[in-house]
């Protein structure tokens, strides 16, 4: 189930809200319940983050959550299991976000087959560039999975064109240089970067890193196709459980339904 049709369907109603949660936090079953909670409370698609020992892109909130997941027994094989469990309960796109070494160790073709069989939408690769992604491009073409590459404010025009041409589903548009985490102001560089991606022919540009309020969601969706929220949801889950997570999802989704 590709995420692209869901993003397209939301264009006339404000824009898409995409939520990120780590698999296995605070435990595997609760992480599955948490993803379902987001999808039942206004979030349009889910990114399931695979905990990793060297999460170079993750901020302190997500790092703490992934460290707890790993300490409690998370294994990468749990990712397709979680995707399948979520898709059994909710008809919505579920993407995996994983550092490339995890996929290599698991087996690229095996991973693609297992995620596709579980009903997953595709893979976001924060540390894989299109130039080095031939094996994943072939596997995702074979299985029909989305492949989401990242674009950053520092990316050259040539790199942006490569990212746009190689991505399927959307381009993950990094709003600011650095790591994930809620910020009081989403970097204004995001608007410029989305404009550059439009010039490179992007169909769907979704902005992430630092979005934590309904106003920020609303602001991002004035120029982007989707807003990605991670740390704010992880914090809600950590501090208040599923009830607080559902409330946060409803709060942020109000920003995604306010532009039209």
pLDDT, tens digit (0-9, with 9 covering 90-100), for 162-173: 999 999 999 999
pLDDT score, position 51: 86
pLDDT of residue 258: 64
The string of DSSP letters for 108-139 reads HHHHHHHHHHTT--EEE-TT--GGG-HHHHHH
Q: In what order do the strands lie in the sheet with 122-124?
A: 146-148, 122-124, 94-97, 45-49, 16-22, 226-229, 205-208, 171-174, 150-151
Q: What is the model's pLDDT at position 154?
A: 87
| Total domain count, the chain | 1
Query: What CATH number is given to the structural domain containing 234?
Result: 3.20.20.70
- The pLDDT value given to residue 260: 45
Predicted confidence at residue 136, as pLDDT, reads 98
Q: In the prediction, which pLDDT does 53 show?
A: 66
Q: What is the pLDDT of residue 181?
A: 45
pLDDT given at position 182: 44
For 173, the enclosing helix (H) or strand (E) is: strand 171-174
Model confidence, pTM = 0.91
- As a whole number of Å, the CA-based R_g of the chain is 16
Range of the domain at 117: 4-256
User: In the prediction, which pLDDT does 67 show?
Assistant: 79
**Type and span of the H or E element at 18:** strand 16-22
Q: Which residues are catalytic?
A: 47, 58
Tokens representing residue 126 in the block:
């924060």
Distance CA 72, CA 41 (A): 27
- Residue 177 has a pLDDT of 41
* Regions of the chain where pLDDT drops below 50: 177-184, 260
Burial of 186 (0-12, 13-18, 19+ CB in 10 A): buried
């Amino acid at each position: 189930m590709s995420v692209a049709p869901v993003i397209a369907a939301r264009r006339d109603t404000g824009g898409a809200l995409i939520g990120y949660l780590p698999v296995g936090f605070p435990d595997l079953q609760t992480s599955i319940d948490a993803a379902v909670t987001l999808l039942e409370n206004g979030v349009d698609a889910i990114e399931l983050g695979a905990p990793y020992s060297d999460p170079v892109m993750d901020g302190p909130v997500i790092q703490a959550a992934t460290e707890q997941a790993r300490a409690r027994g998370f294994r990468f094989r749990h990712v397709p299991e979680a995707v399948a469990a979520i898709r059994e309960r909710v008809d919505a796109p579920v993407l995996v976000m994983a550092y490339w070494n995890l996929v290599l160790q698991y087996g690229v073709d095996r991973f693609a087959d297992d995620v596709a069989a579980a009903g997953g939408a595709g893979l976001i690769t924060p540390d894989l560039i299109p130039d080095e992604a031939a094996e994943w491009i072939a596997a995702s073409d074979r299985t029909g999975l989305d492949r989401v590459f990242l674009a950053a404010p520092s990316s050259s025009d040539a790199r942006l064109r490569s990212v746009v041409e190689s991505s399927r589903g959307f381009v993950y548009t990094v709003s600011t240089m650095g790591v994930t985490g809620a910020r009081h102001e989403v970097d204004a560089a995001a608007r410029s970067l989305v404009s550059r991606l439009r010039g490179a022919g992007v169909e769907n540009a979704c902005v992430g890193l630092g979005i934590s309020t309904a106003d920020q969601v609303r602001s991002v969706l004035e120029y982007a196709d989707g807003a990605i929220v991670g740390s704010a949801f992880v914090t809600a889950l950590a501090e208040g459980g599923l009830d607080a997570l559902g409330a946060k999802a409803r709060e942020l989704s109000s920003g995604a339904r306010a532009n039209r």
